[in-house]
Amino acid sequence: MKVEITSAVLEQIRALCVAESNEVCGLLLGAGRRIDAILPAANVASDPSRHFELDPVTLIAAHRAARAGGLAVIGHYHSHPSGVAAPSPTDAACAAPDGTLWLIVAGDDMRAWIAGPGADGAVRFTEAMLDAR
């Protein structure tokens, strides 16, 4: 599986996450497996240094814009300020096996994951190749 992203969007995400001690999050907008733009969202988690929760206001606005003919919401990104660019156990517990894209940033590392169905209704993350152009 391959996910396309422009280098401009990639740099935009990197710039938002760098030197930020709390987890940074936002939505990935585009079509299919192509990221065309991002929509930064506030992290409204009670402990944003360890978890992330997308601001529902941003989420609702993005879905409304998509229905009105805008870019589709194809997933989201978040950072692991002191972790690795892979889904944490908390991420797995919160994820739905809906095929959405999870982009995780840890330092200079950025990796894309697809949240698909695993055994017993659980989520199985499959890594996708990030194709920056």
Alpha-carbon distance values, 107 to 19, 29, 99 (Å): 9, 22, 25
Please tell me whether residue 91 binds Zn ion under the rule CB under 5 A.
yes
Instruction: CB nearer to Zn ion: give 71 or 77.
Output: 77
Of 27-35, 91-99, 106-114, 122-130, the window that binds Zn ion (rule: CB under 5 A) is 91-99
88 binds Zn ion (CB under 5 A): yes
| Residue 7 to residue 21: CA distance in whole angstroms | 24
Q: Least distance (Å) from Zn ion to the CB of residue 49?
A: 12
Residue for token digits 């055994």? Answer: 119
- Stretch binding Zn ion (CB under 5 A), from 11-19, 64-72, 83-91, 117-125: 83-91
36: left (phi over 0), alpha (psi -120 to 50) or beta: alpha
100 binds Zn ion (CB under 5 A): no
The sign of the dihedral angle between the CA atoms of 37, 63, 112, 25 is positive
Q: Which residue has the tokens 């710039």?
A: 15
Looking at beta carbons only, is 88 or 100 nearer to Zn ion? 88
Binding site for Zn ion (CB under 5 A): 88, 91
